[in-house]
Structure 1
Amino acid sequence: MVQVRYFAPAPALRGLVSSYYWCETDLPLLCDRMRAELGQVRFVVRGTLSYRFADGRTVAGPPALLSGPTAAPVETCATGPFGCFGAGLMPAGWSALIGPDADELADDAVELRTVCGVAADDACDAIADARDDAARVAAADRFFTGLLERPRAVPAWFLRLTDDWLTASPDPRVDALVAASGMSARQVERWSRRHYGASPKLLARKYRALQAAVRLGTGEARTWSEAAGDAFYDQSHFIREFKQFVGMTPARFVADAAPVSRVTIARRRLLPGMPRLALYS
């Protein structure tokens, strides 16, 4: 049996950290396919966790692991008994808390201490020693609040604009983002890669597919055509893009993943201050 619980970060961290989550299982081995997602920090306090990326690389994770935003599904394997406390990083959070450009770690993972120093190990130890969810959340809040003390220039207006662009329409258009930003297409591309880990074109494709997955997962859409709307050329285009970013066909998603997705999305929507972008990844 697998248990997953979600928690809201401290008010000062909302908009930077999408949510916290605790995942645990007594299964000896748990393998899963994670759809394209935001950057993540994961503290593995029991068992081990490894990633297999779309290009075939495998990263056997240390206890405290930082993974960049992904543009393709990632295979994860956990050895149990397993316990992991994680945090989703919004693009604003990546820029304010982490430091390196997001595209430097896109579709990759590294030991958290290589970026955040020994504070990462201290946080992992505190979470491992915690006796309950409240203590884990408090330890994570201390860690991320400490990272905020390192001053970094974050273009909040651009991140708000881009988050809204990715969620306001089922088919985000790059020219609309460029026009709204008042910058050149080249500058928008640079900032998009720096803060989101991908070009605007790839981001638009990613969130177009992930929005469709959420519509299927919540039951808002019952058929492929309802999920696709006018955002895809035809059924084959929809299936190809869906599989690229979700890791399975829409039919398999509805049969195997949609029930779990429905519960997950419902739980996360109850968290205060949950950013809309985070519901899709």
Structure 2
Amino acid sequence: MNSPLVARTGQTKRGHPVSINLAPDPDLQRHIARLFITIVEQPDDAILEDFIVSETGFIRILLTGEWATLEDGAWRDYEGSVLFGAQSRPFRCRVKGAFAMCGFAILPGAWRSLTGIDHRDLADRVKRLVGPIGDRLDQAGDDPWSHDATFAALNSAVRDWVKVTGGEIDSVAERFDQRIHLDPTRSVADLAREIAVTPRTLDRRIQTSFGLSPKMVLRRARFLDMAATVRGIAVPDEEMLASLRFYDQSHQVREFRHFTGMTPGAFARASTPLFNLALESRQRRKYELADRTGERIPWLA
């Protein structure tokens, strides 16, 4: 059922809903990426069905709306604090009625220490967070309409999570994550040399922290950069656009079919509001990373 969406947290010039998102407190910037709040209105009987493709694991605190994800061919309902693994393919979600949610992305370098999970065991999957951490996050997202208070509560909850788990950072995963945001066109061998590990060690560490092989992580990052360009969220200059282009049209079609289930043309015409939310937040993180390093990357006009 199609219906107009009214985003109370903002929209792009093309009318796509966006979240209010910002970087975490400085002491948490090696553990989590951007925090977000999203509030969207639609009729009570309206159903928004879409997909997400995220390169990080993340937590969504589902506050209002009737949420479900498609798992093993069946829809499964969720509410409260939900931990998503990263995706290697489109992960179907739907929500009925107006919805509000908040949360944050977990950086790959901190994934294992915070969650205690080998990311391969949760890639393309989702689980409800229970216990003290889940309860604390549920409370942190109790009033998403009070934005400053919600962001402060989320930062505080994550800070306590880091204290409980130790918050150790995998420096290999951290450096790989930063490099693919700056340039996803590089080879795995080149990145292994720069990070000063063997390709075998890189493969093992990346699979544990990202849930996928280094090659797949690079493929997905390159696709997400192109998807942001198609959506008008990223506007690279000609040099950058040329570096992002695929080998040929058939290669581009294969990648878009893999990550969206659509051809590039069909994706350009499709409405993907849930996917767009993650794209926009990702691009803001890329901007901040480029600002810190002084490097040029495709970004927002």
TM-score, normalised to structure 2, is: 0.77
Q: Matched residues in 1 for 2:270 and 2:6: separation?
A: 15
**Which range moves more in the overlay, 188-197 or 74-83?**
74-83
Can you list the C-alpha shifts for 1:172-218, whole angstroms capped at 9, x where unaligned?
31111222233332221110111111111111211121122223333
- Pair 1:94-2:111 in alignment: yes
Paired amino acid for 2:25: A
Partner of 1:17 in structure 2? 32
Query: Do the aligned partners of 1:35 and 1:247 also contact (CA within 8 Å) in 2?
Result: no
Partner SS state of residue 172, structure 1: coil
Q: Matched residues in 1 for 2:38 and 2:280: separation?
A: 17
- Pair 1:68-2:85 in alignment: yes
Can you list the C-alpha shifts for 1:5-30, whole angstroms capped at 9, x where unaligned?
22332222224222122222332322
Partner of 1:107 in structure 2? 124
Partner SS state of residue 141, structure 2: helix
| Residue in structure 1 matching 2:268, options 247, 254, 258 | 254
TM-score, normalised to structure 1, is: 0.82
- Pair 1:41-2:55 in alignment: no
Partner of 1:140 in structure 2? 154
RMSD, aligned CA: 3.4
Paired amino acid for 1:18: A
Pairing of 1:51-200 with structure 2 (within 5 A)? 51-52=69-70, 56=73, 58-113=75-130, 117-129=131-143, 132-149=146-163, 150-156=165-171, 158-200=172-214
Task: Give the C-alpha shift of residue 47 in structure 1.
Answer: 2.3
- Pair 1:212-2:226 in alignment: yes
Can you list the C-alpha shifts for 1:219-262, whole angstroms capped at 9, x where unaligned?
63699xx9575753310111111231244322233334599988
Q: Matched residues in 2 for 1:262 and 1:51: separation?
A: 17
Over 3 Å counting, the alpha-carbon distance change for 1:250 and 1:146 in structure 2 is same
Q: Matched residues in 2 for 1:38 and 1:191: separation?
A: 15
Partner SS state of residue 52, structure 1: strand
Task: Give the C-alpha shift of residue 147 in structure 1.
Answer: 0.8
Query: Do the aligned partners of 1:51 and 1:76 also contact (CA within 8 Å) in 2?
Result: yes
Over 3 Å counting, the alpha-carbon distance change for 1:49 and 1:264 in structure 2 is closer
Q: Name stretches of at least 5 consecutive residues in structure 2 with no aligned partner.
A: 8-18, 291-296
- Pair 1:30-2:44 in alignment: no
Q: Matched residues in 2 for 1:123 and 1:244: separation?
A: 33
- Pair 1:240-2:254 in alignment: yes
Q: Name stretches of at least 5 consecutive residues in structure 1 with no aligned partner.
A: none
Partner SS state of residue 128, structure 1: coil
> What is the identity percentage for the equivalent residue pairs of Structure 1 and Structure 2?
25
Q: Matched residues in 2 for 1:178 and 1:268: separation?
A: 24
Q: Matched residues in 2 for 1:110 and 1:262: separation?
A: 22
